[in-house]
Amino acid sequence: MQLVLLIVFLLSWGLLGVTKPTLRSSYILHEKRSHTPSGWDVLRRRDASSVLPLRFGLKQSSINKLEDMLYDISHPDSSNYGNHWAPAQVTQTFAPSQETVEIVRGWLEGAGFGFDRVKLAPSRNWLEVNTTVEEAEHLLKTEYHVYGHKSGKIHTACSEYHLPIYVSPHVDLVNPSIHFDAILGKRGSGATPAKTVGLPGVGIFPKTTGNISSILSRLENCDVMITPICLRALYGLNYAPLSTKKNTFGIVEYTPQAYLQSDLDLFFANFSSSLVGKSPEFVSIDGGVIQTMQTGFNFNGESNLDLQYAMNLVNPQEVVLYQVGDLPQGASFNNFLDALDGSYCTFEGGDDPSQDEIFPDNLPNGYNGAANCGTTKPANVISTSYGYNEADLSPSYTLRQCAEYAKLGLMGVTVLFSSGDNGVAGNGALCLNVDGSCSQTEDGMIFNPGFPSTCPFVTSVGATQINLGNKYTDPEVACEQVIFSGGGFSNYFGIPDYQKKAVGKYLQDHKPSHFADIWNSTGVSRGYPDISANGANYVVAVDGRFARVFGTSASTPVVGSILAMVNDARLTIGKKPIGFINPAIYSDAFSSAFHDITSGNNQGCNTPGFSAVPGWDPVTGLGTPSFAKLLEKWLTLP
Ligand SMILES: *[C@@H]1O[C@H](CO)[C@@H](O)[C@H](O)[C@H]1NC(C)=O
Ligand SMILES: *[C@@H]1O[C@H](CO)[C@@H](O)[C@H](O)[C@H]1NC(C)=O
Ligand SMILES: *[C@@H]1O[C@H](CO)[C@@H](O)[C@H](O)[C@H]1NC(C)=O
Ligand SMILES: *[C@@H]1O[C@H](CO)[C@@H](O)[C@H](O)[C@H]1NC(C)=O
């Protein structure tokens, strides 16, 4: 898939120090889209004299050393373990170099765009120039067309573009070019207006089998109803936090998803009475509001689930709620990252105006304040139960965002994402089509990995269950009730060092033989999830009643709570938070710290999917956590 694109990216990520040739340079294909996304048609050539605001996303300095830098402070064998970076060091290290700025600027000047027309963004991440379509087509050796969507939306794009060979390594991407708005409203709803990414939760919503009349909250009943005591028992979470003033734990929610205080209180009354009346610490980002205009499982289910369990499991540690996005637009992951890192902020940083929300907006009930840029100090652990399909987004967009997660890791932040609820299929149970394009349909045949789970610099969390009739002391299996644990192999991201051994062993001993050509079986791509936790039969208060809830959405805040308590113990004895955990959890020293899950599948795309097997697998990762053992391992690290 998108082979050309990937080769170009690999090249541009790998090459550095290219010198400026004296002769007039020849061009190289920089990005190419293999097909027009479904629903869009070419209407006409874009008028040659109309103006395009061209933006060149510049290659960041040292970005090819990012992985090594991250391992240096997060690998348990490194003498620098735990020496996290200050935010200013991160900004300085990765800002595009003077050489990069000069090379791209020099090329534009040579092409007739004088100093006064080319603007460098204050963050140094982007060069901007207003060109006519004719000029842009000449500059990028391309043709711009106007595309129409059946919803009526219009978009300008090209299908490929070129850059001089000596310029290409200094540019990540050019806007507008091949990129399309990624998500066009919910699947099958032709009437929904085309919308920009906005709602990363379009696919991963927890699911429910409906209301329950009476709660079974004894340990014997964990196979039919999960309550906090079941989770404490399953993972040995028997710990009272001591450093609640120093520690932080954050849950991210995207508007219009919202919690209801009355539901939190109903839950707390039954499961942790000391919390009745307590709210999470509210941090509003880009107009984030706890809306009450729309209620019901689809609007309250996710937030209620995340907060009820997280607040209970870490009590009395406060939980920070990052509520992101205003009512009319919502927001994207990049909008949240902007709030954490000012140098990434808006299209001067990492955003893509065609895929991320723009603030302030002038919409009715919209947020008309300034976009939140670097206004929020990230919590030590940040749990997000939303996600995209990798194919919803272009490789260049995911690469820039993934690098940003690595930067959070450098600063000592643990970033968790749920792996998805449709097994090897993507959100919406969509699979990729065989034509090698990134188009996704219900009858697609090819496994459809999820993002950011496929980013090697986040920790991806899958789902398990207790089989009916089993006790909490029996081994759990991969979740196969209502949802299937998202898992598989990336088509965009190569395999990171930390999981080469574990994934290599899986591919050597357990590679499914009957369907090798419908997933990335090359052995060189990132496998996910990394770990898992129970994701079935959660008792959650929603709209005044208790309902049974399923999803990796549930697993993720539980893992987050466990890791937050490990941080508490480390902070209590003067150590640093655990930060990016993957190099540690895949290391030999941690091999006994997980309950290996060896049974169950993650079906999808009309296949049984992968199977959980001894060792790492693309269904449940390394397994479910043992708090006591994780604590012991992490307390021995510096
Ligand atoms: C491009 O044009 C827009 C609209 O006229 C203007 O706001 C912007 O500053 C211009 N950008 C540059 C780099 O000249
Ligand atoms: C629970 O019951 C109420 C009242 O009958 C109903 O409105 C609501 O949709 C039900 N919730 C779920 C999650 O099924
Ligand atoms: C939850 O707690 C309330 C108050 O303590 C109690 O009346 C109710 O029966 C409990 N709900 C369930 C479903 O057990
Ligand atoms: C498989 O993943 C690798 C690493 O990300 C990538 O280079 C390759 O293009 C992918 N193959 C397909 C068929 O997508």
d(CA 17, CA 12): 11
288 is in an annotated binding site: no
Q: How many domains does the chain have?
A: 2
Whether 168 and 209 share a structural domain? no
**Is the pLDDT score of 175 beyond 90?**
no
What's the mean pLDDT in 317-337?
93
Higher pLDDT, 36 or 194: 36
The Cβ-side half-sphere exposure at 399, using a 13 Å CA radius, reads 24
At residue 268, φ and ψ (nearest 5 deg) are: -65, -35
Compute the distance from residue 278 Cα to the ligand 2 centre, in Å.
Answer: 25
Residue 596 among known ligand-binding residues: yes
In a domain, 506, yes or no: yes
Asked whether residue 86 carries a pLDDT value surpassing 50, the answer given is yes
Question: How far does the centroid of ligand 1 lie from the alpha carbon of residue 130, in Å?
Answer: 6
Region of 574 (left: φ > 0; alpha: ψ -120 to 50; beta: rest) is left
The reply to whether 199 and 100 lie within a common domain is no
Alpha helices in 241-329 (DSSP H): 261-271, 297-314
Distance 5 CA to ligand 4 centre (A): 11
Q: Is the pTM here over 0.85, yes or no?
A: yes
Beta carbon of 545 within 6 Å of any ligand 2 atom: yes
Same domain flag for 122 and 241? no
The mean pLDDT value for 393-407 works out to 91
**Do 238 and 168 have their domain in common?**
no
- The verdict on residue 84 lying in a domain is no
* Residue 617 assigned to a binding site: yes
- In contact, 282 and 255? CB cutoff 8 Å: no
Query: Which residues constitute the domain of residue 125?
Result: 7-59+95-175
Q: What is the mean pLDDT of residues 216-229?
A: 96
Quick check: is 304 in a domain? yes
502 near 583, Cβ under 8 Å?
no
**Does the pLDDT at position 598 exceed 70?**
yes
- Output the pLDDT for position 203: 47
pLDDT over threshold 90, residue 478: yes
Residue 374: inside a domain, yes or no? Answer: no
Q: Is the CB of 360 under 6 A from ligand 4?
A: no
CA of 536 to the centre of ligand 2 (A): 19
Same domain as 153, residue 252:
no
Write out the H or E segment, with its range, that includes residue 584: helix 582-585
Give the pLDDT of residue 446: 95
Bridge partners of 132, per DSSP, are 51
Q: Do 225 and 127 share a structural domain?
A: no
The confidence band for 217, taking pLDDT boundaries of 50, 70 and 90, is confident
Residue 520 has pLDDT above 60, yes or no: yes
Q: Write the DSSP symbol of residue 350.
A: T
- Domain presence at residue 81: no
End-of-domain residue from the set 143, 175, 207: 175
Percent of the chain with pLDDT over 90: 75
Among candidate residues 332, 326, 333, the one with its CA nearest the CA of residue 366: 326
Distance, CA of 406 to CA of 401 (rounded, Å): 9
User: In terms of domains, do 344 and 462 share one?
Assistant: yes
In this model, does residue 22 exceed pLDDT 80? Answer: no
Mapped to the 3 state alphabet, what secondary structure does 211-260 carry? ECCCCCCCHHHCCCCECHHHHHHHHCCCCCCCCCCCCCEEEEEECCCCCC
Query: Among the atoms of ligand 1, which is closest to the Cα of residue 119?
Result: 13
- Look at ligand 2, atom 10, and give the residue with the nearest C-alpha: 211
Looking at the fold, whether 301 and 157 belong to one and the same domain comes out as no
- The Cα–Cα gap between 612 and 636 comes to 30
Query: Where does a domain end: 147, 175, 203?
Result: 175
Nearest CA to ligand 4 atom 8: 491
Q: What is the pLDDT of residue 181?
A: 56
Grouping H, G, I as helix, E, B as strand and the rest as coil, residue 533 is: strand
Element containing residue 443 per DSSP (H, E)? none
Q: What is the pLDDT of residues 424-470, one digit of tens each?
A: 999 889 999 887 667 788 889 999 999 999 999 999 999 999 999 99
For ligand 2, atom 2, the nearest C-alpha belongs to: 211
Q: Do residue 156 and residue 232 come from a single domain? A: no
Domain end point (choices 148, 175, 202): 175
Which ligand is closest to the CA of 207, given by its number?
Answer: 2
Tell me, yes or no, whether 79 lies in a domain: no
Active site residues: 302, 306, 553
Ligand 2 atom with least separation from CA of 547 = 13
Is the model's pLDDT at 585 over the cut of 90? yes
> Strands 249-254 and 320-324: what pairing?
parallel
β-pairing verdict for 145-149 and 154-157: antiparallel
Tell me how far the alpha carbon of residue 209 lies from the centroid of ligand 2, in angstroms: 10
Same domain, 256 and 119: no
Per-residue model confidence as pLDDT tens digits over 254-305: 999 999 999 999 999 999 999 999 999 999 999 999 999 999 998 999 999 9
**Is 275 within the bounds of a domain?**
yes
Whether 225 and 258 map to the same domain: the answer is yes
CATH code at position 402: 3.40.50.200
pLDDT of residue 182: 47
Q: Are residues 389 and 324 in the same domain?
A: yes
Element (H, E) at 2: none
Identify the CA nearest to 183 among candidates 168, 193, 169, 170.
Answer: 193
Nearest ligand to the CA of 491 is: 4
Rounded to the nearest 5 percent, the helix, strand and coil shares of the chain are 30, 20, 50
What pLDDT does residue 23 have? 44
Q: Is the CB of 522 under 6 A from ligand 4?
A: yes
403-423 pLDDT per residue, tens: 999 999 999 999 999 999 999
- Give the 3-state secondary structure of 445-477: CECCCEECCCCCCCEEEEEEECCCCCCCCCCCE
Q: Give yes or no for residue 447 CB within 6 A of ligand 4.
A: no
Q: Say if ligand 4 is within 6 A of residue 491 CB.
A: yes
- 597 annotated to a ligand binding site: yes
Question: CA nearest 486: which of 527, 445, 455?
Answer: 527
Percent of the chain beyond pLDDT 70?
91
In a domain, 326, yes or no: yes
Tell me, what's the pLDDT at 3?
35
Ligand 2 pocket test, candidate residues 209, 213, 543, most atoms within 8 A of CB: 543
Please determine, for residue 17, whether its predicted confidence score (pLDDT) is greater than 80: no
Q: 3-class SS at 20?
A: coil
Here the contacts of 5-14 (C-beta below 8 Å, separation 24 or greater) are: 5/31, 5/32, 5/33, 5/395, 6/395, 6/492, 8/32, 8/168, 9/395, 9/396, 9/399, 11/168, 11/169, 12/59, 12/168, 12/169, 12/171, 12/172, 13/63, 13/64, 13/399, 14/64
Q: Say what the pLDDT of residue 19 is.
A: 43
- Computed over every residue of the chain, the mean pLDDT equals 89
